[in-house]
Amino acid sequence: GCGSNSSASGSSKGGKVTLGFSQLGAESQWRTANTKSVQSAAKKNKKINMKFSDAQQKQENQISAIRNFIQQGVDVIAVAPVVETGWETVLKEAKDANIPVILVDRMIKGKNVDDLYSAWIGSDFTKEGRKAGDWLATYMKKQNKASEKLNIAYLQGTTGASAQVGRTKGFAEVAKTHSNWDIIEKQSGNFTREEGKEVMEAFMKSSGDKINVLVSENDDMTMGAIQAIQEAGKTPGKDITIISFDATNDGLQAILDGKMNADIECNPMSGNDVMKTAIALKEGKKVQKKVYVHESLFDIDNAKKNMPRPY
């Protein structure tokens, strides 16, 4: 069957699938790797003609990019949504124009949003957050310190992004089961290195004498935070146990250097899956609604043999 009528706009030149991709920004190494993965998969795939747009972490830019794609009559739209809410109107416009939508990496939330996209390819962020908590519990236990008081500083990603919401929720679920764990500082560093450093500086000023654990929702913020901890005269990885997310090459190197203790992998290499799904949708085939990418966890026991990382 043929679900979309893109040929009316003349966009599928030479039988190619025209894919409009709205990337949310370039805030992190993870994001750069994700963009590269999508771009190189598009380039390699003879059936794909991709239009790329970078929203610089602004939802309004993503909304206008999507509207442009609709106007150009693309066959399929892919979007990595910066935050979870506020997508109903624009995605309804895509639906009315018969253009299927693929969500990449992050998820959306709201009334009846499940009808507004055809497929989602990304990570289970709540599970990642739980993994961080479980790793910390095991780590303390191994040192016979399971009942030590933990004063946790928590650096969040972009407020309202599903990667932030899920990780915060998953970690909090585990933290709640430990009466000696206390999250004493919590603020967003917007997934960037600069803001991660700034926020950690503020944490160190107000609670530097107490903080003995840092959970940071991506490696870029963690790199900035490590610098702030050192500048405050503390030893990252020792005075402060550090758990991070993404598992970039910098992250694993920090583990080998003893400055970070665990890194929960988040896999950005979804490019090929996005292309396959776009082609299937254009051909009117049924696709899997939710595809979870494979992810693991790294610490001093396995970091070395998994380096160098692809991002």
Q: Can you give the binding site for ligand GYE, defined by CB under 6 A?
A: 27-28, 30-31, 105-106, 123, 163, 191, 218, 245-246, 266
- Pick the closer one to ligand GYE by CB: 33 or 232: 33
φ, ψ of residue 298 in degrees (nearest 5): -125, 140
| Rounded least distance, CB 248 to ligand GYE, Å | 8
Distance separating the N- and C-terminal Cα atoms of the chain: 39
- Cβ proximity to ligand GYE: between 17 and 262 the closer is 262
Residue 29 CB, shortest distance to ligand GYE, in Å, is 7
CB of 246 to ligand GYE, least distance (A): 5
d(CA 117, CA 15): 23
Helix 271-282 / helix 29-44 crossing angle, nearest 10 deg: 50
Nearer to ligand GYE, 34 or 45 (CB): 34
Q: β-pairing, 262-265 with 297-299?
A: antiparallel
- DSSP helix, strand, coil percent of the chain (3-state; round to 5): 45, 20, 35
Q: Which is nearer to ligand GYE, 28 or 62 (CB)?
A: 28
Q: Name the residue nearer to ligand GYE (CB basis): 215 or 232.
A: 215
On whether the CB atoms of residues 259 and 240 are closer than 8 A, the answer is no
In 221-280, DSSP assigns E strands to 241-246, 262-265
- Cβ atoms < 10 Å from Cβ of 101: 24
- State the minimum distance, in angstroms, from the CB of residue 125 to ligand GYE: 7
